[in-house]
Amino acid sequence: MPGEPVNLTDALASFTEIYSPRIVQRVNDYDVRVAKVEGEHVWHAHDHTDEFFLVVDGVFDIALRDADGFESTVRLETGDTFVVPKGVEHMPSSPGASILMFEPSGTSTTGDRHGEIPDHVDSTTGHKL
């Protein structure tokens, strides 16, 4: 059965919650999710999967921490894509942006390991639109 077209602009206009991804499509065993982001997320790591990001609108920073504890930050702007490799600790933050993520269905937004989750971060495997 074919699915339905989903417009990203409409999808992003249909909710206001920050760091609370909506699933817009499924591709094989993967979700295409969109989220609104603002402020700091939480340090976390996905032990079993890479995580793909596309910035739909705005500025989105991803802090990365390597195995030696060294931290660096990648700044992504509208149209930029980036992949966080599996196992790498990362913490997204943003002055305000809309993003698209591509990752296996069931992947938690806060990973398999994480710091203390702030109230404005939804620990979820994604919500229906």
CA separation for the pair 48, 94 (Å, rounded): 25
Q: Which residue number places its CB atom closest to Ni ion? A: 51
Q: Which is nearer to Ni ion, 31 or 51 (CB)?
A: 51
- Least distance between Ni ion and beta carbon 111 (Å): 5
State the distance between the two ends of the chain, measured CA to CA, in whole angstroms: 19
Give whole-number Cα distances, 92 to 6, 14, 40, 50, 107, in Å.
26, 23, 6, 15, 16
Q: What would the x/- binding string for Ni ion be over residues 65 to 104, using CB under 5 A?
A: ----------------------------------------
Q: Which is nearer to Ni ion, 24 or 121 (CB)?
A: 121
Written as six digits, the tokens of 88 are 């790498």
Instruction: List, as own/partner pairs, every contact residues 10-13 make where C-beta atoms lie below 8 angstroms and the sequence separation is at least 24, other chains included.
Output: 11/129, 12/36, 12/56, 12/98
Q: Which is nearer to Ni ion, 1 or 88 (CB)?
A: 88
Region binding Ni ion by CB under 5 A among candidate stretches 17-25, 43-51, 70-78, 121-129: 43-51
Contacts with Ni ion by CB under 5 A lie at 51
